[in-house]
Structure 1
Amino acid sequence: MHPPSSVVAAPRHWVLPFAASLSEPCQHALPHLNAEGTLPHLRRLLGALQVSQRLLGDEYALSMPHERVLAAEMGWPGAVADSNPADADGLLPWAAWWAAQDGVSLDPAQCWGLLSPGHWLMGRDHLTLLDPATLGLSEDESRTLLEAVRPLFEEDGWTLQWGAAQRWYAAHPSLQDLPTASLDRVIGRNPDLWLTDHPQARMVRRLQSEVQMLLYQHPLNEAREAAGLATVNSFWLSGCGQPPANTALPAPVQWVNDLRAPLLADDMPLWLEAWQHVDATVLKDICTALDAREAVKLTLCGERHAVTLTLAAAPSLGARLGRALRQLTGRPDTARVTDLLETL
């Protein structure tokens, strides 16, 4: 008999989206993270870990960097770091992942998309898509609105399923290989700029117009407007594709989404507070895992790129002497917390 082979446990992997952005408010806020005593655990991790992988993209890609990282962890085709981002851009089936979180069973033979009911704010020069999570839409309101728009979709052969107040699911043959922009990519921006010119998107654009007209004077929206609440006047379609074989993140992977809402809202004081909270909780846990000699990975994601950090090799004698000298003389390391964040 042969002895059982040893199994090496996968390293614990923390994925942190919205660590930085190119927006002007964020660029003005980033230097605050360099203040002395700020983010001590992130400082320690940046000193102890080294970049082991870079996932490159740009701010105009349809898929967000963290979506590609998480999709790669689940083994979805086209999402791995060494692939061409354009191969799967906007084609990652996140509708199926969200349906699994909502406990909704989708027909695996059909192509599904995530319909996010939302408010398109009419400005003087352009539209802005508000974050659906800020609408405070109740389950009853959401179900009422879904039933109101259902005939528009079903007469064109669509299948609709309710999942949650902010999430509806739609199936149609036209969603096969239809690239769409992530909801996280479009929030706070002009949705018109993110509507692709793909031939299969024409029906979606028509339905968006029809839904806007239908909901304009809907009694539910009139009641919301009278109460000072934003109306639901359209939807965003994203995450299209057939349900993949795996819609569960591996057990060692932790998706940390604390920075999302404040960054998408350009609420920089709240975003800086969220960073402090993440440092005091999540990043502290990673430091504890390091102290216990556990294998760890930390992936920081911006709106263009993602960078994965793992345990660095033992520093050379010269590096150790240099660090000891800086500590004795009181001279700090020249690296700033934001040196890495600014590259995302």
Structure 2
Amino acid sequence: MASVSFEHLEKTYPNGYHALRDFTLDIPDGELMVLVGPSGCGKSTLLRLLAGLEDISSGTLKIGGRVANTLSPQERNIAMVFQDYALYPTMTVRGNLEFPLKMRKLAKEDIRRRVAWAAELLDLGEVLDRLPKQLSGGQRQRVAMGRALVREPSVFLLDEPLSNLDAKLRGQVRTEIGELQRRMGATMLYVTHDQVEAMTLGRRIAVLHQGRIQQVADPKTLYERPGNPFVAGFIGSPPMNLFAAMLERDGPDRARLRVAGRVVAEGVDAGAYVDGAAVLAGIRPEAVHLAGPEEAGFEAVVVGTEYLGHETLLYFQAGPETQAWTARLPGMHGLGPGDRLRLAVAGQAVRLFPRED
């Protein structure tokens, strides 16, 4: 396996579209790095640059410490797993696994050994003589992984590999990919727009938006301490409530948070913000709860609800003409539009960002 390093990478297409901007990221040997972001943010472009399928406009790409900008795809020794599996429909599973090895003119015994190893590792022994159309979606995905594995590449690239699977199968195959990576110690770059995949698979996650890295961190840090409003709103389902607010300092480092003239949280970490500062505040839906009898809270008006069995998503307004927020309340709550109730937010759960009006 090998490390991967992107140093100030840029990609601009002939039509002027700037797909990647000053992209800098180091992936140590043996790490599973997840790259997540909305459609069009540059994720797949990055994989194509790494695989050698497109040229880098500027910057440096290193694979295993070696500058790879001008290396051919074959010289880079990278295996890519696509979202549509890209299996040869007229070849059996065995044939699909053998094909990349035959193209490299490996000895028959070496081919047999590698195919047997991959089949055992991925539990494909019973389907080696079947065609892709005779396999389930999960089995086809494992064959695609196996075809990459037998090549013994330096780096694995996985481009939205689970997008064609149903929800239950996605969870199963996601677990299998994570376990496979841990057993092999393989260097993997996993691209997805699905934050559930990102949060459950990645030891580190790079969040990408408009061709730029927004934050690189472990899942817990991304969720609890997002680096900017984009990360705060993108990571989490339902997303973080983001809204304009004003701070009233009431101590050396604490403040009250006012929205539409009313206090919605106390004991907020004010950091370097001055008294009366206009800020963009963020509150996770699960940080909003029903106010207790002795608890300071604020009056809210219910806009709508979604009952999910184990929890209720409550949509409400914290003041007249304010935007709707979301609260995630445990259990079932019989509330409907127009109902009034008192809610509260723990001050330590509030994240503050500079406001750009």
Note whether the superposition's TM-score is higher than 0.5: no
Structure with the larger helix share: 1
Higher gyration radius (CA): 2
TM-score, normalised relative to structure 2:
0.25
Q: Quick one: higher RCO (CA 8 Å, sep 6+), 1 or 2?
A: 1
Higher percent of residues as strand? 2
